[in-house]
Amino acid sequence: MDILDFAGGLVVDQRSEAVAVGRWFKLADNRTRNRDLLRADITRAQEIRKKIPAIQEDCDKFEESLYPASKGYSSVSSELDSIAGKAGLVIESSGFHQSEIKGRDLQEIEIDAVVDGSYSQVVHFLNGLQRSQNVYAVEALEAKADSTQGANGRVRVQMHIKTYFRTT
């Protein structure tokens, strides 16, 4: 049974009042927490905004480091042949496919190549790609034992590689 007080002509249920006050404090705590989270988000956003010019400058430097499209294909072909030669590999075939990157003065170049050599030569070739001044992203590798060479440990590797050229 509720304890009721008579105060100035009104009947007040003290338990209900206590629950209402508790809910009010909980609501105030939630609002304070939400306000603090919002302030933290705003602070993070302001910090990010301050970093945007430096990020843009880094992106511009990166784009300037790419081969120009006018010389890109011959430069990449020459570099791939050089890396393969140093690794002792033979590039049996290669093909290029380009697409424009919207909103940037860049072309994405997809390269499909087939190389033939030993496992360690393939590893050296991949290491050479990784160490290149140019950007190469190896997207896929498919290795098979070279059936024409028998059991001498040679592999044929089909590679899907991406690189980028600048168009300006």
Judgement on whether residues 79 and 141 belong to the same structural domain of the protein: yes
Structure tokens at 103: 């909103």
Q: How many domains does the chain have?
A: 2
Judgement on whether residues 115 and 130 belong to the same structural domain of the protein: yes
Alpha-carbon distance 69 to 165, whole Å? 5
| pLDDT computed for residue 14 by the predictor | 60
| pLDDT computed for residue 146 by the predictor | 67
With residue 143 as reference, give the H or E element that holds it: strand 137-145
Residues of the chain with pLDDT under 50: 1-3
Cβ atoms of residues 160 and 140 within 8 Å: yes
Cβ atoms of residues 138 and 131 within 8 Å: no
pTM higher than 0.75 for the full model?
Answer: no
Judgement on whether residues 40 and 60 belong to the same structural domain of the protein: yes
Judgement on whether residues 47 and 71 belong to the same structural domain of the protein: no
Judgement on whether residues 35 and 71 belong to the same structural domain of the protein: no
Residue that finishes a domain, picked among 64, 95, 116: 64
Judgement on whether residues 159 and 87 belong to the same structural domain of the protein: yes
Judgement on whether residues 54 and 74 belong to the same structural domain of the protein: no
Provide the residue range defining the domain that includes 50.
4-64
Judgement on whether residues 22 and 101 belong to the same structural domain of the protein: no
Alpha-carbon distance 33 to 27, whole Å? 10
